[in-house]
Amino acid sequence: MTFAQIAGFLLAAALITIAPGPDNLSVLSLGLSRGRRAGIGFGLGCAVGCFTHTLWATLGVTALIAASETAFTLLKLAGAAYLVWLGIGALRSPGATLAADANVAQANDPMRPYLVRGFVANAINPKVALFFLAFLPQFVDPARGSAAAQTALLGTLFAAQTVLIFGALGWYAGTFGGWLRGRSAVGRWLDRATGLLFIGLGIRLALAGKD
């Protein structure tokens, strides 16, 4: 693949990743309410989920999902239910600790659970799968070798730039959230807002069509 081909793809991918959407809104809300590790972890999980969609697109699995209304609906409902479950968990949370050591406690919060949540939320979202199926082939040049190999490379590059952008987003959201959590009762309301966001995203996904 040529430099111009890859550069054009990365520019388009970065603009799409930065644009407001379910993944980056989730990274922002978790970073604000639960700290840097939560935001960065969820963002990295979403990036790993992109590898799954790349594999599906390369192997033709995504095309089968696009052709099957049943498969699309089942994946869509599973993804919606998972987002609603995350939202309910956030609503039931007692809120971020507002004591003097709150930021220290959240700085030691394990990242792995949030990474898993981000991965699952992204990997079982059929809308993301269909996006990869539509987006990646636009930058594939059949004259330059295997379309499958180019698709795999482009998907890997997409995931890599997602790591950078979502990692930065989670870091700065966590930093600002640390300042907010030092204000009286803000931590509890940040958790509530995060819960409502996840539930809203779940309902939106459940009602979404293929287009």
Q: What is the dihedral of CA 185, 188, 189, 194, to 10 degrees?
A: 160
Q: Residue 48 pLDDT > 60, yes or no?
A: yes
Residue 13, class by beta-carbon neighbours within 10 Å (0-12 exposed, 13-18 middle, 19+ buried)? buried
Q: Which two tokens stand for residue 10?
A: 């990365």
Whole-number pLDDT of residue 97: 45
- 211 or 192: which carries more pLDDT confidence? 192
Q: What is the pTM of this model?
A: 0.77
Over range 47-55, report the average pLDDT: 89
Residue 55, class by beta-carbon neighbours within 10 Å (0-12 exposed, 13-18 middle, 19+ buried)? middle
CA dist., res. 83 & res. 128, Å (int): 14
Over range 37-60, report the average pLDDT: 88
Whole-number pLDDT of residue 168: 93
Whole-number pLDDT of residue 12: 92
CA dist., res. 66 & res. 173, Å (int): 35
| Range of weakest confidence among 56-60, 135-139, 150-154, 165-169 | 56-60
Q: Which two tokens stand for residue 41?
A: 């972890």
